[in-house]
Amino acid sequence: MKSIVVANWKMNPVTMREAKQLFDATRKAAGASKNVILIVAPPTIFLRELRARYKGKHIAFAAQNVNAEGSGAYTGDTSILQAKEAGAEYVIVGHSEQRAKGETSESAGNVVAAALASGVTPVLCVGERERSHNGEHYSAVKEQLRAGFSHVEPGKVAKVLVGYEPVWAIGGEKSMSPRDMHEMAIFIRKTIVGLKGETGMNTKVLYGGATTESNALPMLQESGVQGFIVGHVSINAERFSILMSSLG
């Protein structure tokens, strides 16, 4: 089974010229990694042009954030339909950086439903801000999953990718241990089974939190995840190429 890598460029780079250069390097890395499904999530302003200049089949594109509404009086937002029309086949939903700005679990659930209705694959991000010894972080993740899947029909559950982000690890160089991630992956799937039935066991879980060229392969082999959401390493062409090569 191929692993999945979401290259989340966040608000980088600054110019279209730099975006093209980064994409060309990313495309080369994807071409050498036959066992990886690569999804590139550039800033929305670059999405259409990058998608239009790419004619291959090894890379898909994602929007970093959308409004669940198709259109309307939402100044500054991009609708799910606009993102799809620009070339997005995936959308990141409920990223911790959006939640920190006020996005609720309920609004994330609305975007998940809108994405599925539009034929776009949602990547629902969940994760705690800090890890507690009494297990409170499991309750936080469970609530995010409940809201995120609240409008998802059982038959479409497997179409939702779940990205687990331990917020305390994001942006650093040290990820959580594969053993701890394995426990969380089991918890995520069991929670979805409790919400939506046995089809939840087929949920693809991605890890996002200080994923680097050094720790990606051990995490993939030992944690039960199907891939990664890669942040700062994805905008470093050399490091990202090594990461992709490590996954085959």
Percent of the chain as helix, strand, coil, to the nearest 5:
45, 15, 35
Alpha carbons 234 and 143: distance in angstroms, whole number: 29
Average pLDDT, the chain: 95
Q: Tell me what pLDDT residue 235 has.
A: 98
Q: Tell me what pLDDT residue 19 has.
A: 98
Q: Which of 97, 128, 165, 213 is catalytic?
A: 165
Q: Tell me what pLDDT residue 97 has.
A: 95
Q: Quick one: average pLDDT of 102-109?
A: 98
The yes-or-no answer on residue 165 being catalytic is: yes
Q: Where are the domains of the chain?
A: 3-246
**pLDDT greater than 80 at residue 25:** yes
Task: Report CA Rg, the chain.
Answer: 17
Tens digit of each residue's pLDDT (9 = 90 or more) over 163-221: 999 977 777 777 789 999 999 999 999 999 999 999 999 999 999 998 999 999 999 99
Tens digit of each residue's pLDDT (9 = 90 or more) over 33-82: 999 999 999 999 999 999 999 999 999 999 999 999 999 999 999 999 99
- Beta pairing, strands 36-41 & 161-164: unpaired
Single out the residue of 35, 38, 40, 39 nearest to residue 2, CA to CA: 35
Q: Tell me what pLDDT residue 147 has.
A: 98
Q: What superfamily does domain 3-246 belong to in CATH?
A: Aldolase class I (3.20.20.70)
Q: Which of 95, 128, 213, 232 is catalytic?
A: 95
Alpha carbons 51 and 7: distance in angstroms, whole number: 14
Give all strands (DSSP E) within the chain, no chain letters. 3-8, 36-41, 59-63, 90-93, 121-126, 161-164, 205-207, 227-230
